[in-house]
Amino acid sequence: MTDRAENSLLILPGLLLLVLAFFVPIAQMLMLSVSGENGLTLAHFTRFLSDPYYLNVLWRTVRLSAIITLICALIGFPMAYIMAHVSPKLRLWLVIMVILPLMTSVVVRTFGWMVLLSRSGLVPEVLRDLGLVGRNFSLMQTETAIVIGMVQVLLPFMTLSILGVITRIDSRLEEAARTMGCSFLKTLRTVVLPLSVPGIVAGSLLVFTLSASSFVTPNLLGGARIQVLAASIYRSVTQTLDWPFAAAQAVILFLGIIVLLMPYARLSGRSNG
């Protein structure tokens, strides 16, 4: 047996599985999205893009995902910076603090927010006691609830991708800036932040992609009235049983994400050589 044969043998089971159970299903979905009763059609797409209801769903998905990504970046960057600069022992605890929610089922975490945000829950109660909101105030079934729940679900991804980049920044750069008379905040802004951009961009793309394609948290916290694209796909599959339309919506999500990822792939490809 040659080296080539050995390596091929090792990779073959995985490759077969990947092609048959991953790429073929996606191809099937792409096919179904353009299939009509008599041959190929773009009817499912025009239906989506000409209905104000679905356009509103699409716009809400993009808007909420952008807000969620922004908040994750605003919390994730300082968090990652602090994690990179504390003692190894404390860092381990902070990593556990970030990873524990990440490794908990999304259903379970969302349930926690349902308890916290419901009318009799802790958060509205505290806000009422502080006199900030009225008697009938409720956070459930609002876009705010979706944003709160999703930020908690996705913050770990952002923090870990920024952390991966920040720990690789040469600490002497920061020291040099400080020695030359830069204040701490100015060093952060002019040295650390620019060098962390790859991590922030990678984290943002990940968070945006995941938040645009999630439906469990939006369904449970936002309810049926506040639909996002992924929730609408799920409804088309399980309730209206309109699979070609579901496939078309999935393709729209897919294309949106590819358009988003493309410039990044080109950028990182260039910087890698």
Partner 1 sequence: MVRAVSTPLRIGAVAFVVLTGIFLLAPLVVIVGVSVSESQFISFPPTGFSLRWYEAVLSSDAYLNAAWISIQVALLVTVTSCLVGGAAAIALHRRKLPFSGLLSTLFLSPLVLPTIIYAIGMLMLWSAIFGPVSVLTLWVSHTIITTPYVIRTTLAVLSESNPFLEEAAQTMGASRFQRLRLVVLPQCLPGLAAGTFFAFNISFDEAVLALFLRKPGMTTLPVQIYGQLEFSPDPSVAAVSSIMIGLTVLLIFVIDRMLGLHRFAST
Q: What is the footprint of partner 1 within residues 82-101 (CB under 8 A)?
A: 82, 85, 88, 91-92, 94-101
Identify which range of 42-50, 129-137, 189-197, 245-253 contacts partner 1 by CB under 8 A. 245-253
Contacting partner 1 within 149-178 (CB under 8 A): 152, 155-156, 160-161, 163-164, 167, 171, 174-175, 178
Considering only 62, 169, 243, 260, the residue that binds partner 1 (CB under 8 A) is: 243
Angle at 97 between CA 94 and CA 101, to 5 degrees: 150
140-177: b or e for each residue (b if 16 or more CB lie within 10 Å)?
A: bbbbebbbbbbbbbbbbbbbbbbbbbbeebeeeebeeb
- The interface mask with partner 1, positions 96-125, x = CB under 8 A, is xxxxxx-xxxxxxxxxxxxxx-x-xxx---
CA 108 remoteness from chain centre = 18
Which phi and psi (to 5°) does residue 51 adopt?
A: -100, 115
Residue 86 contacts by C-beta under 8 Å, 6 or more apart in sequence? 94
Joined together, the tokens standing for residue 136 give 């009938």
Which phi and psi (to 5°) does residue 40 adopt?
A: -70, 145
Nearer to partner 1, 53 or 111 (CB): 111
Identify which range of 51-59, 62-70, 133-141, 209-217 contacts partner 1 by CB under 8 A. 209-217
Determine, following the binding rule CB under 8 A, whether residue 184 of this chain makes contact with partner 1: yes
Contacting partner 1 within 27-46 (CB under 8 A): 27-29, 32
CB-CB contact of 156 with 98 (8 Å) = yes
Amino acid at residue number 257 = I
CB of 228 to partner 1, least distance (A): 11
Identify which range of 40-48, 78-86, 127-135, 139-147 contacts partner 1 by CB under 8 A. 78-86
